[in-house]
Structure 1
Amino acid sequence: MQTLAQDIKENRFKSVYLLYGEEVFLKNSYKNQLKASITQGDTVNFNQFEGKGIDVRELISLSDTMPFFADKRLILVEDSGFFKSPSEELTTYLPQVPETTCIIFVESEVDKRSKMFKKVKEIGYACEMERQDLNQLAKWAGTLLAREGKKITGNTMELFLHKTGDDMENIKMELEKLISYTLGREVIEARDVETICTERVTNKIFDMVAAIVNRQTRKAMDLYEDLLTLKEPPMRILFLIARQFNQLLQVKELMGKGMDKAGIASKLKIPPFAAGKLMPQARSFSKEDILSYVDLCVDAEESVKTGRLGDRMAVELLITKKY
């Protein structure tokens, strides 16, 4: 992402960019920044394509068209599927993109082994927008609050991020709610977070894992449906379930060695607040139970990758333990 920021700052752009990855907020942010910097508000020399079935020859024809009274023509291509099912014609063309054109691909799905992906890396810049870790998110959220004249302690920020999860768009919305709620006050307190902020994915995953192990299938399925309604992909839900079972296993082993909350948080690189929630859950489950679900998560992922099961069905079978 530093390369993107540098290109925008210096107003020097590569012929082709690819923005991809899980963090939608970052993809949209850099897409909009690149668009604003390249076009300077010019709509005449801006073309946009979206979805599968794009006419490749039309795209190439526009790319070869000189911009009208401007330095650059920008072509924005979103969710084309070209990086899962590459177009040979477009892949071959990319090195021929004229200096007067910039093409930006913004994709949800990418196969890094594809010729198209390798070609963009070779001649342009491919940037993966990954979910940010807690330290990065805390720093970013603190900066947004500081701009509004707000202060927040480290413990309150941990509580806030525990409630919101790691989705940056959701964090931004919850911050806006907090700022409005604390109008006239400088310091945001824990009670403000508890009162106004909505719990998101990670908390539902925590409750889902408890329901799965305690055989509360209906509750676990209800939580799963809630996450699907929030447009969480089944494979991300599976990843989060697997991550929590692995964390529970680690926490249980560290507790067995006499380690306290601070030590566990430091060892696993998680907030003390999160460690404090995991410890009672780890106590309530046997090591054998946790291990069996770690294995089930591996089986579920393997079933999806080999095509034996659809992603949604794989998670449902995990929840009901019917593998």
Structure 2
Amino acid sequence: MKRIEKDIKTGEYKPIYLVYGPEDFLRQKIKQSFRDALAGSDELNYTYREGPGTDEDEIRILAGTVPFFAEKRLILLENTGWAKKGAEGLVNDLDALPDSTVLVFIEREADEKSPLFKAARERGICVSCEPPSETDLLRSLKKSFEQEGYEIEPDALEMFLARCGGNMNTIACEKEKLLAYTLDTKKIRREDVETVTHQSLSDRIFDMVDAMAAGRPQEAFRLYADLKALKEPNGRIMGMITTQVGRLFVLRELDEKGLSMKDMQTATGYNYYAVKNSLPRCRALSSREWEKKWRRCLAYDTAHRTGRMDETLAVEMALIEVSLR
């Protein structure tokens, strides 16, 4: 990312850039940076194509064309699949292309053995867009608030990231709301985060299962009533309860084996916040006890899906059984 920022700042571009990886926000940010720096409102010297149906022959012709009254021609290609296979002809043309041509590939996936990947690595820049670690997220987000002239309390920052789930697009949107809400004080507290940020359905289910796991059925039923008021389907609620109880079972089993939080993330594929927030609660019971509760939830989920039990009754029975000690 820093190498790309440097090229954009100096105006000294490589012939080819490959930006790939699972973090959509970063991919789109880099894509827009190239668009703003090299094209702007210039449509004559800018080409954008998307999808596996992109015509390679057309791109080869465009790439070999000098720009019209401009220094650079930007060709931006997204999710073509060429970073995994194909585009051999375009790769072979690279040495013969005008210095004014800048090829930028934005891809979700890439194969290091593909001709395009090798060419980008040898003659240009490859950037892998991976989700940032929890530590990096906390640090960078705290810095971004400070650059805006805001002070955010540590527990407020942690809650903010937990609610956003590490999703960079969500973080960007929720941050703007939070900045506007605290404009007068420029100080962000936990209460502000609770008031302003959106609580997703999965967050609400987590709170409900958390109350169930703590043996607080009254609170669990109150939260369930809130979900019904929001017109969330009972079938969906039942399925998500089952998933969350299953998560507590798996984490408790790994916890009993002595795995670290990082190893639990690797073994389960759960994100940092899911593991961190679930661990304290899963330790309330043994893995065997959690397995029993998970299997009961599975039974209720199956019963309502097959029409053998009313959806509302299935959810309420699960709430009661998971809450029992």
Task: Assess same fold via TM > 0.5.
Answer: yes
Q: Give the conservation status (yes or no) of the 8 Å contact 1:249–1:282.
A: no
| C-alpha RMSD of matched pairs (Å) | 3.9
**Secondary structure in 1 matching 2:7:** helix
The more displaced of 29-38 and 153-162 is: 29-38
Counterpart check, 1:38 vs 2:56: no
Q: Give the conservation status (yes or no) of the 8 Å contact 2:249–2:290.
A: no
Counterpart check, 1:156 vs 2:156: yes
Q: Give the conservation status (yes or no) of the 8 Å contact 1:84–1:111.
A: yes
Q: What is the aligned partner in structure 1 of residue 176 from structure 2?
A: 176
1:199 Cα deviation from its structure 2 partner: 3.4
Q: Aligned equivalents of 2:50 and 2:61: distance in 1?
A: 17
The 3 A distance-change label for structure 1 pair 217 and 251 is farther
Counterpart check, 1:188 vs 2:188: yes
Q: Give the conservation status (yes or no) of the 8 Å contact 1:7–1:13.
A: yes
Aligned pairs, number: 265
Q: What is the aligned partner in structure 2 of residue 146 from structure 1?
A: 146
Q: What is the aligned partner in structure 1 of residue 52 from structure 2?
A: 52
**Secondary structure in 2 matching 1:17:** strand
The more displaced of 240-249 and 178-187 is: 240-249
The 3 A distance-change label for structure 1 pair 276 and 19 is closer
Larger radius of gyration: 2
Q: Give the conservation status (yes or no) of the 8 Å contact 1:78–1:105.
A: yes
1:178 Cα deviation from its structure 2 partner: 1.1
What are the superposed Cα offsets for residues 112-171 of structure 1, whole Å, 9 maximum, x if unpaired? 332222222122111111111122222232233224322102221111101111111100
Q: Give the conservation status (yes or no) of the 8 Å contact 1:251–1:279.
A: no
- TM-score of the two chains, using structure 1 as the length reference: 0.68
Q: What is the aligned partner in structure 2 of residue 320 from structure 1?
A: none
Q: Aligned equivalents of 2:204 and 2:193: distance in 1?
A: 17
Q: Aligned equivalents of 2:76 and 2:272: distance in 1?
A: 39
Q: What is the aligned partner in structure 2 of residue 13 from structure 1?
A: 13
The more displaced of 28-37 and 63-72 is: 28-37
Q: Give the conservation status (yes or no) of the 8 Å contact 2:22–2:109.
A: no
1:75 Cα deviation from its structure 2 partner: 0.5
Specify the code of the residue in structure 2 equivalent to 1:278: L
Q: Aligned equivalents of 2:75 and 2:118: distance in 1?
A: 20
Question: Equivalent residues in 2 for 1:1-323 (5 A)?
Answer: 1-39=1-39, 41-200=41-200, 203=203, 219=237, 221-222=239-240, 248-253=252-257, 275=276, 277-286=278-287
**Secondary structure in 2 matching 1:284:** coil
**Secondary structure in 1 matching 2:13:** coil
The runs of at least 4 aligned residues of structure 1 exceeding 4 Å deviation read: 200-210, 240-250, 264-274, 287-290
Give aligned-pair identity as a percent: 31
The 3 A distance-change label for structure 1 pair 160 and 22 is same
Q: Aligned equivalents of 2:108 and 2:77: distance in 1?
A: 12
Q: Give the conservation status (yes or no) of the 8 Å contact 2:205–2:240.
A: no
1:245 Cα deviation from its structure 2 partner: 7.2
Q: Aligned equivalents of 1:86 and 1:241: distance in 2?
A: 44
The 3 A distance-change label for structure 1 pair 133 and 17 is same
The 3 A distance-change label for structure 1 pair 143 and 223 is farther
**Secondary structure in 2 matching 1:127:** strand
Q: Give the conservation status (yes or no) of the 8 Å contact 1:252–1:287.
A: no
1:59 Cα deviation from its structure 2 partner: 0.7
**Secondary structure in 1 matching 2:283:** helix
What are the superposed Cα offsets for residues 19-76 of structure 1, whole Å, 9 maximum, x if unpaired? 1111111111111112222235433211111122111111111111111122111101
Runs of 5+ in structure 1 lacking a partner? Answer: 225-236, 256-263, 294-323
**Secondary structure in 1 matching 2:159:** helix
The 3 A distance-change label for structure 1 pair 76 and 204 is farther
Q: Aligned equivalents of 2:205 and 2:125: distance in 1?
A: 35
The 3 A distance-change label for structure 1 pair 109 and 272 is closer
What are the superposed Cα offsets for residues 174-218 of structure 1, whole Å, 9 maximum, x if unpaired? 1111112223122111111112212359848967998xx9xx996
1:103 Cα deviation from its structure 2 partner: 0.5
1:247 Cα deviation from its structure 2 partner: 5.2
1:222 Cα deviation from its structure 2 partner: 4.7
Q: Give the conservation status (yes or no) of the 8 Å contact 2:248–2:278.
A: no
**Secondary structure in 1 matching 2:149:** coil
Q: Give the conservation status (yes or no) of the 8 Å contact 1:20–1:128.
A: yes
Q: What is the aligned partner in structure 2 of residue 310 from structure 1?
A: none
